[in-house]
Structure 1
Amino acid sequence: MLLGLEDVEQAAACEAAGAEQVTPAARQAGAAKRRANRGALPAHLPRIETTLDIDDKTCRCCQGALHRIGEDKSERLDIVPAQFRVLVTIRPKYACRQCEDGIVQALAPARLIEGGMPTETTIAQVLVSKYAPIASEALQRIAALYAIEKDIRGRSAEERRLVRQQKSRPLIDALEPWLRTKLGLISQKGKLAEAINYALSRWEGLTRFLDDGRIELDNNTVERSIRPITLNRKNALFAGSDGGAEHWATIASLIETCKLNDIDPLGYLTDVLTRIANGHPNRDIEALLPWAYQKQDLRAVA
Structure 2
Amino acid sequence: MLDAANLPDDVAALKAMLIAARLSEADKAVQLARRDEQIARKDERIERLEKLVSAFKQAAFGRKSEKSDPDQFDLALEDLETAMAAIHAEDEADTPAGNRISKPRAINRGSLPKHLPRVEEVIEPESLICACGGCLHCIGEDVSERLDVVPAQFRVIVTRRPKYACRACTDGVVQVPAPARLVQAGLPTEATIAHVLVSKYADHLPLYRQAQIMSRQGIDLDRSTVADWVGRAAFELRPVFDALIADLKRSTKLFMDETRAPVLDPGSRKTKTGYFWALARDDRPWGGGAPPGVAFTYAPGRGGVHAERILQGFSGILQVDGYAGYNRLIATDRIGPDIRLAYCWAHARRKLVEVTRNGSAPIAEDGVKRIAELYRIEAELRGLDPKVRLAGRLERSAPLVADFDTWLVHHRARVATKSPLGEALAYIAKYWDGLKLFLTDGRIEIDTDVVEQPLSQPFCGLGGLSLQASTMAA
Structure with greater contact order relative to length (CA < 8 Å, sep ≥ 6)? 2
- TM, length-normalised to structure 2: 0.25
User: Which of the pair is proportionally richer in strand?
Assistant: 2
- TM, length-normalised to structure 1: 0.38
